């Protein structure tokens, strides 16, 4: 027979054991010395840049702006700046490569405003470091740059037929009350030739530039650097964007792809003789530069899917190419290439992509 007193004693001891284990889990047991937390993990660098944005006072184009950003290492391992990458060739960085824990270094940015157009500039550079929590950090340089010289527009434009020499005269006038003299000009990419620099009354200049013939129609971009002397100071270079437009001797409309949509080709399911067609217009870009369209063909299309017809509206000037879809296909889309043949010795063909879309029909 079990003694009731013995059972109560066991229950009390069991309860005390639970309370002891619970107290041990929460903190030190009475009479034991508490152990302080010990640091865990590896020493790490930590970058801190008190300011990441610098705005300068208004300057004249050609000025060089320099600012040094303090960089601190608030970690407990050496901070390594791996590189500083700027978003513009006009911005040159220099920096402290390694900063000890608790020490301070710098990242210096130098912005040459003569290499960019006047206006409100925003230039940045990205710090790449070995800080595992902030490996990249962006610095900003910004401020107003007033022009030394002004022109008719923000971009100097030269346009003409790709087969011809293109020439344009740009007038530069002083943008400041200071005595201004234009000394010379040069092309950054040599896409244009400087024909002449002629001083004008008041301190500006007329600059004549020339673009040579080009192989294909496209828009190219260059920069014109104009060297200017203010008062008796050292000359500075100022930058002006140039756009050179080489135009094709042929104008084709529409300018992009030709698409037959499903709602158009679906009519052929009910009426195979229905005219499902589109027209492409080919014109000479100028009346004094006639171009003959001698033929047109489709490449890459299933045989018998399309027909192509060329019609001369005004020979040498205006042509119409009619493309017709003759049947449906059990494919969602068919792609082909239209090749337009001309008598242009330099570019005998022009091309356009043709797409025909169809409704899918169940088999059988």
Contact assessment for residue 101 and residue 25, using Cβ atoms and an 8 Å cutoff: no
- pLDDT at position 154 is 86
- pLDDT at position 33 is 47
**pLDDT higher at 26 or 254:** 254
- pLDDT at position 37 is 42
Homologous superfamily, domain 250-357: Immunoglobulins (2.60.40.10)
Peptide bond into 141 cis (omega under 30): no
At 92-131, the pLDDT tens digits run 999 999 999 999 999 999 999 988 888 999 999 999 999 9
At 196-243, the pLDDT tens digits run 999 999 889 999 999 999 988 999 999 999 999 998 888 999 999 999
- Asked, colleague to colleague, whether 149-247 and 250-357 share their fold, the answer is yes
- pLDDT at position 128 is 96
Domain range 149-247, its CATH number among 3.40.50.300, 2.60.40.10, 3.90.1300.10, 3.90.1170.50: 2.60.40.10
Distance of CA 291 to the CA centre of its chain: 36
Residue 300: left (phi > 0), alpha (psi -120 to 50), or beta?
A: left
Average pLDDT of the residues of the chain: 89
pLDDT band at 275 (very low <50, low <70, confident <90, very high): very high
Peptide bond into 254 cis (omega under 30): yes
- Residue 181 host element (H or E): strand 180-187
Report the distance separating Cα 65 and Cα 143, nearest Å.
Answer: 10
Domain range 47-146, its CATH number among 3.50.50.60, 3.40.1190.20, 2.60.40.10, 2.30.130.10: 2.60.40.10
- pLDDT at position 18 is 60
Backbone angles phi, psi at 190, to 5 degrees: 60, 30
Contact assessment for residue 153 and residue 276, using Cβ atoms and an 8 Å cutoff: no
The domain spans of the chain are 47-146, 149-247, 250-357
**pLDDT higher at 343 or 10:** 343
């Amino acid at each position: 027979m079990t003694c009731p007193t013995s059972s109560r004693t066991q229950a009390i001891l069991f309860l005390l054991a639970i309370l002891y284990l619970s107290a041990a889990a929460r903190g030190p047991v009475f009479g034991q010395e508490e152990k302080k937390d010990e640091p865990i993990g590896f020493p790490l660098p930590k970058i801190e840049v008190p300011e990441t944005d610098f705005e300068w006072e208004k300057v004249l184009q050609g000025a060089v702006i320099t600012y040094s950003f303090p960089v601190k290492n608030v970690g407990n391992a050496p901070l390594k700046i791996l590189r500083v990458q700027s978003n513009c060739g006009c911005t040159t960085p220099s920096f402290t490569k390694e900063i000890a824990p608790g020490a301070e270094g710098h990242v210096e940015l130098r912005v040459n405003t003569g290499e960019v157009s006047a206006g409100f500039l925003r230039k940045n550079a990205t710090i790449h470091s070995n800080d595992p929590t902030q490996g990249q950090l962006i610095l900003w340089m910004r401020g107003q740059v007033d022009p030394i010289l002004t022109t008719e527009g923000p971009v100097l434009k030269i346009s003409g037929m790709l087969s011809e020499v293109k020439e344009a005269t740009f007038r530069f006038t002083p943008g400041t009350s200071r005595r201004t003299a234009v000394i010379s000009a040069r092309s950054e990419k040599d896409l244009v030739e400087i024909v002449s620099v002629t001083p004008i009354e008041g301190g500006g200049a007329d600059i004549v530039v020339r673009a040579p013939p080009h192989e294909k129609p496209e828009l190219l971009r260059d920069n014109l650097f104009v060297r200017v002397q203010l008062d008796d100071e050292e000359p500075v270079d100022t930058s002006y964007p140039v756009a050179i437009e080489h135009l094709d001797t042929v104008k084709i409309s529409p300018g992009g792809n030709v698409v037959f949509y499903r709602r158009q080709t679906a009519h052929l399911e009910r009426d195979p003789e229905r005219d499902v067609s589109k027209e492409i217009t080919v014109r000479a870009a100028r009346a004094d530069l006639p171009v003959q369209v001698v033929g047109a063909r489709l490449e890459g299309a299933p045989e018998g899917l399309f027909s192509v017809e060329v019609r001369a509206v005004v020979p040498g000037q205006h042509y119409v190419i009619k493309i017709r879809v003759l049947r449906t296909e059990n494919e969602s889309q068919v792609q082909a290439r239209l090749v337009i043949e001309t008598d242009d010795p330099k570019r005998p063909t022009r091309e356009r992509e043709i797409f025909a879309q169809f409704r899918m029909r169940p088999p059988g």
